Amino acid sequence: MASARTEQANPLLNKLNLTQKVQLISGASYWTTCPQASIGLGSITFSDGPSGVRGTTWDECSPSTCLPSPTALAATWDEALTMRLGTLLAHEARRKGIHVLLGPNLNLHRSPLGGRHFECFSEDPLLTARIGAAYIRALQAQGVGATPKHFVANDSEAERFTADVRVDERTLREVYLAPFEQAVTVGAWLLMSAYNRVNGVTMTEHSLLRDPLKEEWGFDGVVISDWLAVRSTVAAGNGGNDLAMPGPATAWSDRLVDAVLAGDVPEAIINDKVARLLRLADRVKAFTTDREPDDGLVQQNELKQTLLQQAAASSAVLVRNENGLLPLNPNRLKRIAVIGPNALVAQIQGGGSAAVIPEKTVSPLEDIRERLLPETKVAYAAGVDFGSELPLMPLEMLRNPETRRPGVRVRYLDKDGQVIRIENRQATQLIWLDDGLVDVDLIEIETCLRVLEPGIYRIGVGGNGAIRSPGTYRLAADEQILVDEVIDNHESGQPGTAVPAAPGTGEVELHQDQEIAIRLSHQIKSGAIGVPTGVTLSLLLGRAQTHEEALAAAVDVARDADVAILIVGTTNYDESEGADRATMTLPRRQNELINKIAAVNKRTVVVLNTGAPVEIPWHKAVDALLLCWFPGQEGGKALADILFGAREPGGRLPTTWATSESDVPVLVTQPQDNQLVYAEGLHIGYRAWARTKVKPAYYFGHGLGYTEWQLHALKVPDTASLTSPITVQVRLANVGLRPGREVVQVYLQRKLSVIDRPIIWLAGFCGVQADPGHGVTAEIHISPRSFQHWSEQSHSWETETGTFTILAGRSAGDLPLSAPVTIRSS
């Protein structure tokens, strides 16, 4: 039922003149809408998500709770856990004064090369819809708006401002629009329109925003543009986009007022947009008299850490465990080799707008050491040459030259060389959004470095994710100039279309107890897109080793170890908004590292710390393979829990994993002549694999725990008329030695269909738990929509009557139970 304030939307609207109305829908700043004191309305404040709530600043002075990546959330196949995490995010948002979180991302894993793959849930529309709906419901139950994005077919990053996705009507409806329809069904308050075009029309002007979104589905919320996605006044003003962000210099503002006065845009359309914004303001309590304080849930750190640790463990997918290598018994281990770049530097999140400054990070190596007996020897080796993509300088090795405490001193100078302000910061990755750079021409960073061991080191400066700053970089160690470069990595004036590598590094020989002065200056070049340019600067440090030297050291520590634990993967340089990956091959020659270690120690556990699938040609050469995604700030503790048996790895694959990139049936993300043709139609992910003669390494839905399960029986109705969901039951038992959780999955199949269909498609799932020796029944409800198809002739949903086969099992490649059901016409 609408609240009293919502019912007053039209009276409030009548109190505003045309200029005020257009101000409301044009944005006031990078993160806020325009307040209107005359009707008691404050600003609505937005924040990037979806794995945390960054707020309107991006620095360690206001850190954020960092959740597992959306790919990891989908790997839990657990809506209840997702809702608990959504509640945590909502309270985090309220603590930071945020009304609306820009997430979840409901685009699909069409290709494993998609740059924001880690930020999306799954290759399957049903799994995406259900996990996304749980996320939305939890956020909004606490009064924080959710913004499912990016509507629609924004499934890759190449040419994302201009790419024209060519996709047929049926595929749009059944695959790409399906998660957004579910988001509207559960009452999403906002929806974000995408940068790209679909079938020739840019999404901020697209008729899809009218129908089906607002007309057929009855969406009563606000369509907010992706940042700078509104590029026209009349076309977008007449369309279904309601709010253009960021402000105030958008394609709307004064130009939209002029268009209305000229009769090019009817004021009635403006009124609808404003009414929607006022409804949102009521829902998020942006009317100044409605503000409520946060209840402090996120301050209960122990409770929060336990939840994040549980989530990371529940998302980890054990895909291979030969000879029962995992879990390890710490009491029987005398010597462990921990190897890999991601063991030393925790990679907890991807890059771009999804990234936050976490409250804390602990290296997996440190958490592993904490779980072992004091007498157990732990030897570490990186195993690879980091190249220019060095880890961040450890804060404990630095001293602010002024305070002598860990950290750096930052000076901000204007174009005349006058100091605007000085800050003492406790981080080696510093990020500034636009509002923090007013009048700033030069940023200077000073610190003192003392390494723990003598040797030759690489020191560098880098950017991070999709935010990068063109301009001059100058880095010095004492009097030695290491970097002096001009960087301009804006591509076609489009924000976030290029991901930076480190601008440069240099080598320095450092002695025991030697302290050197590190000085970095960065002169900012003005942005070319009508807004100030965000800046990120990272101080980087690593040992100068050749790959051969690093590899030999790793082989040496692995050879005599009781077990070798390789923690390898990608970083937020490799996976980020702004660019798709060029290859699925693990970077930095990590495949070679894995092969070498497996050759000298069969008891090898490989932990893949990535947000998206990578090639795994070596997967049968190692005894155990665990996927931990980008696991959030408690990922290291969760990994130690899993390795040593304190928790079961609870995840199941939300997307199919290939042995080789060449096997992937849908891979291309690069448009040709600005067009990206979805020629595969309905057949993405496991659906596409089912049509090939090549088997993937691990199917969608696959995952092992620390116990064994047997599926015994499937019970389905003989016939159904689809007036309500069909209920099926699967009987299964835990026949192993430990308590555990299983995810029972139900798929549909239609043989001899008169229309093109996937060979199988997911229709439902249910997580169950049981103690050893106990049975349990999974009850799964299949929606009538799962049996329907979209007709391009009638432009409506239709049902093909007759016999469908219901298949049940543990993955798309393991479906031992089946039974027919006959669908009647009435």
Q: Are residues 247 and 114 in the same domain?
A: yes
Q: Examine the fold and report which residue of 544, 563, 586 is the final residue of a domain before the chain moves on.
A: 544
Write down how long the chain is: 826
List, in order, residues 6 or more apart from 338 with CB less than 8 Å away.
364, 365, 368, 378, 379, 380, 565, 567
Q: Are residues 191 and 151 in the same domain?
A: yes
For residue 249, being part of any structural domain is answered with: yes
Say if residues 85 and 76 touch (Cβ distance below 8 Å). Answer: no
Q: How far apart, in whole angstroms, are the C-alpha atoms of residue 607 and residue 623?
A: 11
Q: Are residues 22 and 165 in the same domain?
A: yes
Q: How far apart, in whole angstroms, are the C-alpha atoms of residue 302 and residue 297?
A: 11
Q: Examine the fold and report which residue of 616, 649, 682 is the final residue of a domain before the chain moves on.
A: 649
Q: What is the pLDDT of residue 6?
A: 44
Q: How far apart, in whole angstroms, are the C-alpha atoms of residue 277 and residue 275?
A: 5
For residue 562, being part of any structural domain is answered with: yes
Q: Are residues 592 and 518 in the same domain?
A: no
Say if residues 448 and 401 touch (Cβ distance below 8 Å). Answer: yes
Q: What is the pLDDT of residue 526?
A: 58
Q: Examine the fold and report which residue of 544, 571, 594 is the final residue of a domain before the chain moves on.
A: 544
Question: Nearest-CA neighbor of 764 among 775, 778, 750, 753?
Answer: 778
Q: What is the pLDDT of residues 391-439, one digit of tens each?
A: 889 888 999 999 999 999 999 999 999 999 999 999 898 888 655 677 8
For residue 641, being part of any structural domain is answered with: yes
Q: Are residues 580 and 607 in the same domain?
A: yes
Q: Are residues 374 and 400 in the same domain?
A: no
For residue 748, being part of any structural domain is answered with: yes
For residue 606, being part of any structural domain is answered with: yes
Question: Nearest-CA neighbor of 91 among 51, 23, 138?
Answer: 138
Residue 553: give its domain's CATH number. Answer: 3.40.50.1700
Q: Are residues 371 and 397 in the same domain?
A: no
Q: What is the pLDDT of residue 300?
A: 64
List, in order, residues 6 or more apart from 430 with CB less than 8 Å away.
59, 408, 410, 445, 536, 537, 538
Residue 545 burial (10 A CB sphere; 0-12, 13-18, 19+): buried
Q: What is the pLDDT of residue 296?
A: 52
State the alpha helices, DSSP H only, in 723-789: none
SS3 content of the chain, % helix, strand, coil (to 5): 25, 30, 45
**What does the block give as tokens for 760?**
């199988």
Q: What is the pLDDT of residue 429?
A: 86
List, in order, residues 6 or more apart from 270 with CB less than 8 Å away.
18, 21, 22, 25, 237, 256, 260
When divided into structural domains, the chain yields a total of 4
Rounded to 5 degrees, what angle do the CA atoms 429, 431, 436 make?
A: 145
The single-letter code of the amino acid at 79 is E
Residue 136: give its domain's CATH number. Answer: 3.20.20.300
Q: What is the pLDDT of residue 2?
A: 39
Q: Which residues of the chain have pLDDT under 70?
A: 1-9, 289-300, 388, 433-436, 463-470, 488-503, 526-534
Catalytic one among 155, 226, 580, 641?
226
Q: Please name the residue that has the structure tokens 């996937």.
A: 758
Say if residues 429 and 378 touch (Cβ distance below 8 Å). Answer: no
0.85 exceeded by the pTM?
yes
Q: How far apart, in whole angstroms, are the C-alpha atoms of residue 325 and residue 491?
A: 48
For residue 690, being part of any structural domain is answered with: no
Q: How far apart, in whole angstroms, are the C-alpha atoms of residue 772 and residue 734?
A: 5
Q: Are residues 145 and 256 in the same domain?
A: yes
Q: Are residues 462 and 607 in the same domain?
A: no
Q: What is the dihedral of CA 567, 572, 578, 582, to 10 degrees?
A: -30
The range of the structural domain enclosing residue 196 comes to: 17-297
- In the beta sheet, which residues pair with residue 819? 806
Q: What is the pLDDT of residue 293?
A: 55
Q: What is the pLDDT of residue 492?
A: 39
Residue 719: give its domain's CATH number. Answer: 2.60.40.10
Helix (H, G, I), strand (E, B) or coil at 700: coil
State the alpha helices, DSSP H only, in 162-228: 169-171, 178-185
Q: Are residues 598 and 735 in the same domain?
A: no
Q: Are residues 132 and 77 in the same domain?
A: yes
For residue 694, being part of any structural domain is answered with: no
- In the beta sheet, which residues pair with residue 460? 505, 540
Residue 422: give its domain's CATH number. Answer: 2.60.120.380
For residue 682, being part of any structural domain is answered with: no
Q: Are residues 395 and 362 in the same domain?
A: no
**Residue 226 bears catalytic tag:** yes
Q: What is the pLDDT of residue 584?
A: 98
Q: How far apart, in whole angstroms, are the C-alpha atoms of residue 626 and residue 322?
A: 12
E-state strands within 219-292 = 222-225
Question: Nearest-CA neighbor of 600 among 552, 556, 559, 564?
Answer: 559
CA distances for 820 relative to 157, 340, 747, angstroms: 42, 49, 12
Question: Nearest-CA neighbor of 808 among 737, 753, 740, 726?
Answer: 726
Q: How far apart, in whole angstroms, are the C-alpha atoms of residue 197 and residue 159?
A: 10
Q: How far apart, in whole angstroms, are the C-alpha atoms of residue 698 and residue 123?
A: 14
Q: What is the pLDDT of residue 4?
A: 40
Classify the C-alpha dihedral 590-595-599-601 as positive or negative. positive
